[in-house]
Amino acid sequence: MNDVFAEARRLGLNGGAAAAVDAKQVSAVASLLGYSAAPDAGSGHGTGGLVRYRIHWFHFEPLAVSRLSASGCWVPVEEGMRPSDRRLRRAEKAGWRILYALGIDFGMTEVEAGPNGAVPLAVDPFPETDEALLARYRQALERFRAAWIRECGRTTPAVLGADPEFLLKSASGRVVPASAFLPRRGSAGCDLVRIGERALYPLAELRPEPSPDPRRLVVHIHKALRTAASHIPDRPDLQWVAGGMPARGFALGGHIHLSGVWLNVFLLRALDNYLALPVALVEDGRASARRPRYGVPGDFRLKPHGGFEYRTLPSWLVSPRVAKGALALASVIADRYRELDRMPLSDPDCLRAFLEGDKAKLSAAVRPLLAELRRLPEYDRHERMIEPLFAMIARGESWDESRDFRAGWKIPVRLPDSDEAVIH
């Protein structure tokens, strides 16, 4: 192993990675992530056919990309060509997901991609490099080191934001498009879903004002819910539902935004293990249907303001207890993740249990995590927000995403066969 890779390991990257990852491991984890089928070959080599890529990564960043030519040679892909190549975008997404799921933070992925899918084929945590590629790894390592030093010196708390989604359902169970009532912009609006070439806006989405205090963020969420209620008719046949998949084919997210904190693999893995796993223990059994297409570990998106959006969670609007617990945990984790080193999701059996919603297998893995969180200094400050969620876990409770969630948030609800709006 050369000096660059050795130094990266000393910084904690690729800490548990073996010198080689065999094809069987790659295939097994790829299958869990939904990459078990061969990609659509389209019309053969060329615009619509399969292309095999090799992508070198260092901590989220693709450093170099090459493609296998018809003559069997690996040809570099020019940087300017990558944004317009749909197959390459699919290959990069699949390559990063398999790398992350295997607990690897730098290395090479080999992926075969077509216009409608991609399949990871191979992973090498410590690939051979020429001098030019090694220089790219070295530069990426120095960028990582500088950012890590800045992050370790951070003294301000992370700022939290969110954009949780919900659905409107009629008495017959039909989804009523949120765009019928809500604007596209604002603190309560509708969200885009693409079906083929069509752009639809069936989802309702809250965009509360951010805050470094999770209590304050919950107040802003409640305000956004009241704004939504001012736009949506108070009809007894119109139900507000949230969770993971309260209607078949409609996967909902409880995205949490974090800014003022540097996105790195240690933080991302802490969010997966110390936040997503506890939430999974209280989710409705139907919520796991959104995975693995949505809500896999490590699902994030960079935001224009400089922060990032953690996208693994389902919509925690189902219950104020779940919402408060999830947001407070995110705050604690963002400020203390360097002390949280248990990573049960690195075990393929735990990963499978999470993706499939097997709570019996997850429960034993989560209990030590909760005890560890309770020992953190920040936990005492947020105990009143977090303990109701932990109590749900202890009692084996789950939310019911077929229920109208407005009552829990003290939003007026007009019951069927009643002329009066009531607050529970």
Give the closest residue to 102 by CA, choosing from 296, 348, 276, 301: 348
Given a contact cutoff of 8 angstroms between Cβ atoms, the answer to whether 382 and 287 are in contact is: no
pLDDT score of 108: 96
Domain final position from 91, 121, 151: 151
136 with 285, same domain: the answer is: no
Domain final position from 151, 171, 202: 151
47 with 178, same domain: the answer is: no
Burial tier of 337 (Cβ tally within 10 Å: 0-12, 13-18, 19+)? buried
Q: Does residue 365 lie within any of the structural domains?
A: yes
Domain final position from 151, 185, 220: 151
Tell whether the model's pLDDT for residue 309 goes beyond 90: yes
282 with 341, same domain: the answer is: yes
163 with 136, same domain: the answer is: no
Q: Does residue 423 lie within any of the structural domains?
A: no
Q: Does residue 87 lie within any of the structural domains?
A: yes
- The region of weakest confidence among 34-43, 48-57, 177-186, 317-326 is 34-43
Q: How confident is the model at residue 79 (pLDDT cuts 50, 70, 90)?
A: confident
Q: How confident is the model at residue 225 (pLDDT cuts 50, 70, 90)?
A: very high
- Which pLDDT tens digit goes with each residue over 353-388? 999 999 999 999 999 999 999 999 999 999 999 999
299 with 208, same domain: the answer is: yes
Q: Does residue 113 lie within any of the structural domains?
A: yes
pLDDT score of 43: 42
108 with 182, same domain: the answer is: no
- Domain range holding 347? 159-414
Give the closest residue to 256 by CA, choosing from 323, 306, 194: 323
pTM > 0.85: yes
CATH of the domain at 65: 3.30.470.20
126 with 182, same domain: the answer is: no
270 with 203, same domain: the answer is: yes
- Which pLDDT tens digit goes with each residue over 257-271? 999 999 999 999 999
Q: How confident is the model at residue 45 (pLDDT cuts 50, 70, 90)?
A: very low
229 with 104, same domain: the answer is: no
Number of structural domains found in the chain: 2
Number of alpha carbons in the 13 Å side-chain half-sphere of residue 49: 10
- Which pLDDT tens digit goes with each residue over 322-343? 999 999 999 999 999 999 999 9
Tell whether the model's pLDDT for residue 65 goes beyond 80: yes
| Cis geometry, peptide bond prior to residue 292 (ω within 30 degrees of 0) | yes
